Structures are given as structure tokens and as C-alpha cells.
Structure 1
Amino acid sequence: MTTNLLPEPLRPSRWPLRVRSALAAAVVVGLALLVGAGALLWMLDRSLIGAVDSAATARATDIANQLTHDSPADLDAALFTTDSRISGVQIVSPSGQVVRTSSQSWRAPLIDLRLDPGQAPVSRVSATSGPESDLRVSARPAVSTTGPVTVLVAASKESVETTLITVAVLLAVGGPLIVLVAAAATWALVGRSLGSVEAIRSQVAAIGAAQLSERVPVPPARDEIARLATTMNAMLARIEAGHLAQRRFVGDASHELRSPLATLTAALEVARERPEAFDRALLTDTLLPETERMRDLVEDLLILARADETGIALRVGDVDLDDLADGEARRLRLRGDVTVHTVTAPVRIRGDRERLARVVRNLVDNAAAHAASTVALTTETSEPTARIVVDDDGPGIPDSERERVFERFVRLQDDRSRATGGSGLGLAIVTEIVAAHGGSVTIGDSPLGGARFVVELPSEGPDHRSAS
């Protein structure tokens, strides 16, 4: 196991992002410039050397062509002139004697090489003698009127070296400047981007539970920072919605529990002050119904709380939906409030019988509470889906409210009485149980004139992740 011996401030992983980005840009640009400069100098050297050799070869070819008609002494003097590239010209006999030269200081052959007629020209050979050592020599065989000779033309590499040194100096001076500019530009650009991130961070840090409506600034550029800000605003919107829903849930739950508690408290206070008034009628007509109402409300709240925290636990087995529907129809007929019609085809699915019975009961109670005179229950199957349909002939539900009625404590009536509104949790529980079974519940228009609730459930049962 190795230990980082660098002090904490010197570890690159601890450096600010701007510093790391600027250094990374400087290193990358520096390496790229170094490789590029090396390649440029090599290619420039090859190109300039090639130009020098080409000039020497061209002069040697001109002299060899002229020697086919003249002797070395009769050649045009212009062929022996020198310039910035051509440094010297020699004609060498087969015995190694310099027959003619461009300068008396060039009396010895530039290279120890004699070519026979018909041999290929030789170029790019360094000189072995002469007043200059930095020469490139091109040799070409020729046949003059006096016999075979070898034409030697020397070209200087001094201009090549001067050009290479000049370019290398420019690169050495300009390279670090380019690296510094790249590092500075990266520093500035990263700092500008991080400025937007810092604005988002500071805004989020300033948002408390009382300012959840605040949003972070979204940069005008449609880049990753803008997408981060948009995502952050969407998250804040979800948190705000959840916070408002929680506050509304607590307020509604407190309101619902307050009513039965107030009734029970009032009845018990009457019994304390007037014991003779605490009779069977008070117990049966007031205390027990309010206690049952509070018990049912607390149970509903616990179901929804568990659904929010861990999901609804299911005990999966075979369930006959038609039996559940027939049982609820019999219960409703015993109440005598409405007429009940059933069309229950045999439908068996995999699910939690107790939970599904709660679904059917909540839907039937909801239909009975709003029906004018008639409720209808239907069960049917169309593989791989089973359906429970509950109709009523009540006022129906407007299209704009059909999603909202599944929310908690939502009642479409203006009043909050038990007779018309219930607790507002029944349909929310239906939604949670159906979702736990992998199904769906929708609202439509009933042929009876009111609302139609349609529950669709998979015949094979809920996904295994929902089961326990």
C-alpha cells in the first residue's frame, strides 16, 4: 500500500478546477507544439536540403550536356559561377586531376569519386575537401571532346542551417507565448463557466423551507451549465410540490381527525357533567360511529404513509374478482340506498385478496355516495388483463377533475361533510393498491349517466418487486 507523501496543498487532486484546467491546457498545448515544432523542423530541413541538392544536380546536368560538344576549357564561364547556393564547380579527369574549377582554391577534388560513362549520377554526398566543410556535392559522369570526365557541383548548406535556426528561435519564443495564451484562455473560460455554477450554488444555499418557490438562474447559453440549472429548477419544483402536498396532507389529516375527536370530547364531557345522559343511545349513535370513523381514517393514513415510504406490501394468491364484486353488491343491497345491478363473469387473477377487496369496496362506496338511484358492477377478462367496472347514475365527474379526484383529501363537493364528501382518501388508496398490482384505474362516462370507474389488472399478478 502506497502513501501519498505530498503535502495536502500540493496534491493535484486538491487544486481548484480552474488551476487544474489551465495547467492541463498548458501541458496539452505545450506537448502538441513540441511535437509539431519537431515535425516542422524535420520537414523544413528535408525540403531545404532537397532544394540545395536539386540546384546542384541541375548545374551538373547542364555542364554534362554542354561537354558533349565542348572540351572542359571551352565551356561557358557562366556554368562555373557561384551564388548563395552553388559554392563550387569542378571537372575531374579519370586520373583524379581537376581539369577545371570555379576557384583556384578548389584544386583538390571535392570527393574521391570518379564515375564511368553510363553510371548513374550521385547526389546528396558530403564534401571531403575544399575550403568549406558544410557542403553537399552532386556528381555526374560526362564524355567531353577530350574524353570521359566527372562533373562535381558543391552546394552550401549554410542557408539551410540559417533558416532552420531562425525558425527554431521563432518557435522557441512563440511556443511558450502560445502555451501561456492557451492557459490564460482556459482559466478565463473555466472561470466564466464556474461563475454560473457558483451563482447556482449560492442561490441553492440561500433557499430555505420558506423560499422553495425560488429558482436558480439559467445561463442564456444552451450548454451543460444551462441544463444543470434547468434540472436544478425542476428538482426544486418537485421539492416545492412535495412540501406543499405534505403541508396540505398534514392540514387535511388534522382537520379530519379534529371532527371525530371534538365529537368524542363533547360526548364525554356531557357524560362527565351529566352521568344520567350517558345512555345506550349516546354510545350507539355517537361514540361508536365517531370512534369507527376515526379508526378508519387512521388506518387509511397509515396505508398511504406505508405506500409513500416502502410501497404497499402484498400477500399474493389467487383472487376471484367476481366473488369480490358479488359480495360488495350484496352488502350494498342490504343498505337499501340504491338499486344494484351486476354482470360478473368469472375472473381469477393473482393478487392480494384483502387489498383488492378494499379497492372494490372503496369504488362501490364512492359510487353509492354519488348515485341518484342505481349502481352497476361488472367484471370481465381479456387476456392478459382483467377489468372491474363500477357505474353510477350520479352527476358524473368533469373531464378537468378526473385526474385530481385521485389525489388525497380531494372532494369535488364544496362542503366536507361525511354524507357527501367522505375523508377524501378512498380513491387515493384505490390508486396506490392498483398501482402496486401493476394495474391502472381510469374514469369515463357511464351509460347510466354518471361516472364510470374502470380498473385494469394484469391476470398474472403484480410484478415480483411489488410482492412480499
Structure 2
Amino acid sequence: MNSRGVVINSSRQAMGMAPISTTRPPADDRFQQLTEGSVMVMAIRVSPAADSPVVYAGLEEPAILHEHHLEYFIAAGVLILLALAAWMTWCVVGRTLRPVAAIRARMSEITVSDLSLRVPIPPGEDEIALLARTANQTLTRLEEAVEQQRRFRLHRLPRAQDPDRRPACAAGGGPALPRRHRSARHHPGGADGERPA
């Protein structure tokens, strides 16, 4: 198309048709990509001259782009990917926290009167498994300490309740004497206080 807007040459398919565009690219930007309706147009200015002709090449825009179907497909794909990522994250977090919930439930069952229970150890060598092993070792040491304290109390209880095993000492450091012998030692003359002649 010349500078006056007259078609001077065209392809066989476009022969006799109106120009697909009337936009003339400027001299400093001779290549421009346009969209005329549903046609994608490439306008090329042959030379920077003022009367330079312009060559137009057009291609019918696909329906998926013209009717915005591509945007809908992309948005639907993004939503599906986000939902899948959220579901996978939920599964991974749930699987990770399931041993923690089991450990917490078992710890709530352990009391001072029964320290024989142990927390379940999950498979693997991660931090949760190490925490479970450490908790079991702590419970073992605590159970041994409580059992040792219990045996010590049972050993001392019979000694405290048996009167024959209590130490019998007088205030002066010697063995405790009956009352009759104490009176005789304080009164050598006899129980009535008389001295011998």
C-alpha cells in the first residue's frame, strides 16, 4: 500500500479485499505489530522515505486467544496446582506431626505410680525419633530412681517400727537402767536411805 492508502499489490488470497490496516509505521520504527479485530497484523515500512510504501501481513488470531479461552485455562490450571500443592503440604505436615501426637498421648498416660510405659519411637533418624529415644531414656532413669527410693523406704520401715532395734542409752552415755537400780546407786544405804553402821 502506497502513501496515499491505495493497494498497489497483494497476494492472491487478498486480491480485491480492503486493506487490513491503515496504520503507517513511523520512519524511526518501521516494524510494528498490530491487532485489527481478530487479525494479527505485521506492518513493515519499506524505507524511511516519506512516500515509502507499507507492506502488511495478516494472520487470523486463534479462537483460544480471540475469545480469551487461554486466560481461563491458565487460571484454572493455576487454581488446580495451588489446590494440589495445599493438599500435598497438608499430607506431609500431617505425616510429620502424627508421631508427635502419639508421643503426646503416651506421655499423658504416664504417672508417678506407673513409669513402665514408653513413648513410641517412629522409624528413621530424624529429630522426632531422637526426641522419642531421649524421652524413653529419661523415663528409664526416672523409673530406676523411683524404684531405688521405694526400696530404701521399705528397708528403713521395719527398723523404725521394731523397738528391740532402737538404741537404748542413758543420758550419761551408759546403758539405761531400771528405776530400782538407779535408786540404789544414788542411795548406797538401801532403798530406805539408811547407811550401814
Asked if these proteins are the same fold (TM beyond 0.5), I'd say yes
- Structure 2 equivalent of residue 138 of structure 1: 43
Q: 1:114, 1:166 → 2: CA distance? A: 31
- Structure 2 equivalent of residue 101 of structure 1: 10
One-letter amino acid of the structure 2 residue matched with residue 97 of structure 1: V
Q: Deviations over 1:160-208 (max 9, x none)?
A: 8528944433333333333333333333333333332232223223323
| 1:217 aligned residue (120, 140, 146) | 120
CA apart distance, 1:236: 1.2
Q: Deviations over 1:11-65 (max 9, x none)?
A: xxxxxxxxxxxxxxxxxxxxxxxxxxxxxxxxxxxxxxxxxxxxxxxxxxxxxxx
One-letter amino acid of the structure 1 residue matched with residue 132 of structure 2: A
- Structure 2 equivalent of residue 284 of structure 1: none
Residue 22 of structure 2 corresponds to residue 111 of structure 1? yes
Question: Which has the larger Rg?
Answer: 2
Deviates more, 1:149-158 or 1:212-221: 149-158
| 1:158 aligned residue (61, 79, 82) | 61
The question of whether the paired residues in 1 share the 8 Å contact of 2:24 and 2:45 is answered with no
- Seen in structure 2, the aligned counterparts of structure 1 residues 109 and 234 have a Cα distance that, compared at 3 Å, is closer
Q: Deviations over 1:108-128 (max 9, x none)?
A: 57224377xxx5562234367
SS of the aligned residue for 2:77 comes to helix
Q: 2:32, 2:23 → 1: CA distance? A: 14
Residue 105 of structure 2 corresponds to residue 202 of structure 1? yes
The question of whether the paired residues in 2 share the 8 Å contact of 1:215 and 1:233 is answered with yes
Q: CA RMSD in A?
A: 4.1
| 2:130 aligned residue (216, 224, 227) | 227
Q: 2:137, 2:96 → 1: CA distance? A: 21
One-letter amino acid of the structure 2 residue matched with residue 275 of structure 1: R
Percent identity of paired positions between Structure 1 and Structure 2? 28
CA apart distance, 1:219: 0.4
CA apart distance, 1:134: 4.2
- Structure 2 equivalent of residue 275 of structure 1: 179
Note the 1:60-71 alignment, pairs <5 A.
none
Note the 1:264-413 alignment, pairs <5 A.
264=167, 274-277=178-181
- Seen in structure 2, the aligned counterparts of structure 1 residues 186 and 112 have a Cα distance that, compared at 3 Å, is closer
One-letter amino acid of the structure 2 residue matched with residue 136 of structure 1: V
- Structure 2 equivalent of residue 124 of structure 1: 32
Query: Which structure features the higher share of helix residues?
Result: 1
- Seen in structure 2, the aligned counterparts of structure 1 residues 161 and 150 have a Cα distance that, compared at 3 Å, is farther
- Seen in structure 2, the aligned counterparts of structure 1 residues 213 and 224 have a Cα distance that, compared at 3 Å, is same
TM-score, normalising length from structure 1? Answer: 0.30
Q: 2:43, 2:119 → 1: CA distance? A: 76
One-letter amino acid of the structure 2 residue matched with residue 199 of structure 1: A
- Seen in structure 2, the aligned counterparts of structure 1 residues 99 and 114 have a Cα distance that, compared at 3 Å, is farther
The question of whether the paired residues in 1 share the 8 Å contact of 2:3 and 2:52 is answered with yes
- Seen in structure 2, the aligned counterparts of structure 1 residues 184 and 112 have a Cα distance that, compared at 3 Å, is closer
Unaligned runs of 5+ in 2: 184-197
Query: Which structure features the higher share of strand residues?
Result: 1
Q: 2:57, 2:140 → 1: CA distance? A: 83
- Seen in structure 2, the aligned counterparts of structure 1 residues 271 and 127 have a Cα distance that, compared at 3 Å, is closer
The question of whether the paired residues in 1 share the 8 Å contact of 2:34 and 2:42 is answered with yes
- Seen in structure 2, the aligned counterparts of structure 1 residues 255 and 244 have a Cα distance that, compared at 3 Å, is same
Unaligned runs of 5+ in 1: 1-91, 280-468
One-letter amino acid of the structure 1 residue matched with residue 9 of structure 2: R
- Seen in structure 2, the aligned counterparts of structure 1 residues 138 and 187 have a Cα distance that, compared at 3 Å, is same
Residue 142 of structure 2 corresponds to residue 243 of structure 1? no
Q: Deviations over 1:65-97 (max 9, x none)?
A: xxxxxxxxxxxxxxxxxxxxxxxxxxx234443
One-letter amino acid of the structure 2 residue matched with residue 179 of structure 1: L
SS of the aligned residue for 1:208 comes to coil
- Structure 2 equivalent of residue 183 of structure 1: 86
Q: Higher relative CO (CA 8 A, sep ≥ 6), structure 1 or 2? A: 1
Size of the aligned set, in residue pairs, is 174
